[in-house]
Amino acid sequence: MTCASSNTHATLSSSPSSPPTPPVHPASAHARAGSRVLPIWAYLLGLAGICVALYAASALVYSHFTGAVLPGCGTGQPGGSGTALVASSTPTSSCANNLAHPMGSLGGAWMTAKAVLSGEELPRIRPKDAVWPVSHLGVTYFAAALAGWIVIGIMGRRVGWGVAWLARLGVLMSLVYLATIIHGYVSGKGYCPYCLASHVGNLVMWLSLEIGMFMSRSSVLGAARRGFGWPAVIAGFIAFAGSTAALGALEMAHMAEMEAKDRLEAERTEREIREQAERARAVAEQVQQQEQKQPWGPNGFRGRYLIGPEKAPVRLVMFTGYQCPDCRFFETQAEQLLAKHGDKLSMSVFHFPMEALHANAMWAARAAEAAGIIAGSKAALEGQDEKKAATDAFWKMHKWLFEVKGSFTRDELVAKLPQLGFTDTEGFLKVMTGGRTEQIVKADSQLGDDLGLYFTPMMFVNGVEVRGWRTNTNALTQAVDAAIAANPPAADARGDRPALASQKYFEDWTNETRRVLPDNKPDRTQGPKDAPVHVLVFGDYNEPNTKKVDSLVRGFLKTKPIRYEFRHYPGARECNPSLPKDFFVNGCLTAKAAETAGRLGGAEGFWKMHEFLFQNVEGISLQRVRLGAKTLGFEAAAFDQAFASGEVGVAVQNDVMAGQGIGLRAIPTVYVNGKWVERWDREGDNILERIIDHAAKAKD
């Protein structure tokens, strides 16, 4: 015992003057090196969080540049005749709705912060104000995080305090955006699963970092006394700078493309306005001297109440809804134009309330009409100017309705009426809820339908539709300024002749951008391969209008030089999980049946089953498909084997992904020579046939 004690003492005290040196633990060695060592589980979990976040943010960037609707986001823009997969008054999906929020870009976030601090209303962010989408920032941040994380792994999973605080700053931003996402979801605007995934991934990375550092036996508060972690930070900075430069170049090219498209739309509008001005000069005297019967009434193309002179060089007409955000935006722009141009500009409105989307829109429109009716009647009884009184009352109510965004309760309206000059509140409510106001608003909506309206606002300058406003928020100002510059003669609205729906739908197709559509292999088209017209239909055998357009196009095959291609977009979540719900539960069954027949019998087999499915879709089942296949000449065992194969499912998925890639909004969706036919059918009209005939003759 004594000898052992002596040897031990000799080993620990080599010098009488030196203090004892404790044994070195690996974690203590890393602490002296100025960093913490993450446990392997924390490192791997953090890496997974970064990868998920980077993937989600990259998907949003891809959607931004291509316009593709991401799976799980749904789509918000209604299509033509057929089944709209999700209905909306504006061209948005749940993801686009979140990204269009003022906080969806750095410029928007800055403008929002200023509005909040000053107590003002949240701004409407225009493309030029956005500066840099947050999805771009997400990609660059997570690319930097991934680069830094890889370096941390190479250096033994050591984390310096600089990395820790950068991660904390990043998660603070994620918390702000998570709160914004939750607020949007609670407000009924849906949520963006990719936005959510990116921020949750960031939270996972941060929690892994914090817990892992805590378990490395070094206090969080002591982080400042340790190393900064320069290698990881430098690697992250290089990745951040490189990805920012790459995205910046892409964004500049994208914005240049969008601006070029806006310029083309503006130039087209300006050209038509100049042409209209020339026509107006030629017929001005005839129009003023002779009543002309028009579908919109004896006063010509204008609303009942006019701001500005009866005869003005430029006449603005808007189809609007008081609960429509874009209508409100352009209403403000119109007010600015009226102030700018004075008597050179007049303005009138028609109502187009979208009741399915805006619950109070119809009542708001009827309130505006009631104001004009009551004020005009009262003035007539008192021997005053009936027209002026009705006009003043209408526009006063019109302005208030936009101020409250078309939303009010009965009590709120009753409280406001005396301030607007209506002391008999019960009388006002009686007129507002009566049949006359309903008839007026419905007549306006019918006129909108006749003109082919499918988004509000729909705006016209001297009878020429203002296009491109969904991407170019200055489209109205540019159109009015161009009309003023053309110096047309002052005239009333009887000379304005906007194109009715039939012509508008044709013009919409002619002005569509030609797209390179995804290939379908193997080729199962009908008609000559060198035909000058290529018709592509995305649809579901169970959707009635898909059957209608298919019958129409296959009828054209007999008489017109076309090549016809049909691709699947089943209305069932089983094989199309991006849908918000099941629209046609047998959509996947029928699509797979057609692909199975094509796999066994080539193009001929595909089209045989294609026709059988449309003729027998009522009560379709797998058993009925199998019986049909037998009658078409397919051997039962071979059909069953092919139907169950994964290749058939992959073929259907390829069509689904192709549809999502072009932003498919509804079924059927029709393309003619790469241009989307937004409206292909209208009762009593042959829109699709006229488009095909035009495409057959066109040289481009």
425-432 vs 361-381: helix crossing angle, rounded to 10: 120
DSSP labels for 541-562? TT-HHHHHHHHHHHHHTTTS-E
Strand duo 464-465 + 345-351: pairing: unpaired
Q: Is residue 3 part of a domain?
A: no
Distance, in Å, from the CA atom of 407 to the CA atom of 595, rounded to the nearest integer, reads 50
Residues in contact with 562: Cβ distance below 8 Å, sequence separation at least 6, in sequence order: 527, 531, 533, 534, 535, 553, 556, 692, 696
Do 472 and 549 fall into the same domain?
A: no
pTM higher than 0.75 for the full model? no
Last residue of a domain, one of 228, 245, 271: 228
Same domain? For 352 and 403 the reply is yes
Cα–Cα distance for residue pair 274/266, rounded to 1 Å: 12
DSSP state of 189: S
Contact yes or no for 43/152 (Cβ under 8 A): yes
Q: Please say whether the beta carbons of 78 and 88 come within 8 A.
A: yes
Has residue 445 been placed in a domain? yes
The pLDDT assigned to 65 comes to 79
Note whether residue 261 is domain-resident: no
* Cβ atoms of 461 and 280 closer than 8 Å: no
Phi, psi for residue 591 in degrees, rounded to 5: -65, -45
Q: Count the domains in the chain.
A: 3
Q: Where is 490: in which H helix or E strand?
A: none
Q: What is the CATH number of the domain that holds 594?
A: 3.40.30.10
Are the beta carbons of 680 and 687 closer than 8 angstroms? yes
Residue matched to tokens 């209403």: 331
Query: Per residue in 626-646, is it b (16+ CB within 10 Å) or e — as a string?
Result: eebbeebebeeeebeebbeee
pLDDT reported for residue 28? 40
Residue 248 three-state SS: helix
Shared domain for 107 and 221, answered yes or no, is yes
**DSSP conformation class of 221:** G
Query: Of 228, 247, 281, which closes a domain?
Result: 228
Domain assignment of residue 274, yes or no: no
Cα angle value 93/96/97 (rounded, 5°): 85
Last residue of a domain, which of 228, 254, 280? Answer: 228
Asked if residue 466 and residue 352 are part of one domain, the reply reads yes
What distance in Å separates the CA atoms of residue 575 and residue 176, rounded to the nearest whole number?
35
Residue 567, SS3 per DSSP:
strand
Distances (CA, A) of 38 to 30, 41, 209, 501: 11, 8, 7, 66
Residues 646 and 689 in one domain: yes
Q: Which three-class secondary structure state does DSSP give residue 346?
A: strand
Query: Looking at the DSSP assignment, which residues form a beta bridge with residue 565?
Result: 536
Query: What SS3 class is residue 474?
Result: coil
Is 234 part of a structural domain of the chain?
A: no
* Same domain, residue pair 346 and 452: yes
Establish if 200 belongs to a structural domain: yes
Distance between CA atoms of 567 and 534, rounded to whole angstroms? 13
Neighbours of 201 (CB within 10 A): 25
Residues 479 and 623 in one domain: no
* Distance, C-alpha 190 to centroid of its chain: 12
Q: Note whether 452 and 556 are same-domain residues.
A: no
Helix, strand, coil percentages, rounded to 5, for the chain: 60, 10, 35
- What does DSSP say about strands 83-84 and 666-667: parallel, antiparallel, or unpaired? antiparallel
Report helix, strand or coil for 286: helix
In a domain, 81, yes or no: no
Q: How far is Cα 69 from Cα 90, in angstroms, rounded to an integer?
A: 14
Q: Which of 571, 564, 543, 583 is nearest to 656 (CA)?
A: 571
Domain, as residue range, for 548: 533-697
Q: What one-character-per-residue DSSP string does 408-430 give? A: --HHHHHHHGGGGT---HHHHHH
Residue 409: DSSP 8-state: -
- Is the sign of the CA dihedral 324, 326, 332, 338 positive or negative? negative
Is 487 in the same domain as 557? no
* Residues 414 and 541 placed together within one structural domain of the fold: no
Q: Which helix (H) or strand (E) holds 612?
A: helix 587-615
Rounded distance between C-alpha atoms, residue 262 and residue 471, angstroms: 7
HSE of 670, CA atoms in CB hemisphere, 13 A: 28
Residues 6+ apart with CB under 8 A from 693: 560
Q: Looking at the structure, do residues 472 and 558 belong to the same domain, yes or no?
A: no
CA distance 117 to 43: 40
Shared domain check, 471 and 573: no
- Rounded Cα distance between 218 and 345, Å, is 73
Any domain includes 130 = yes
Supply the Cα-derived Rg of the chain in whole angstroms.
33
For the chain, residues with pLDDT lower than 70 are 1-35, 67-104, 107-109, 112, 115, 119-131, 187-190, 217-226, 272, 274-296, 683-684, 699-700
Query: By the 8 A CB rule, do 197 and 53 touch?
Result: yes
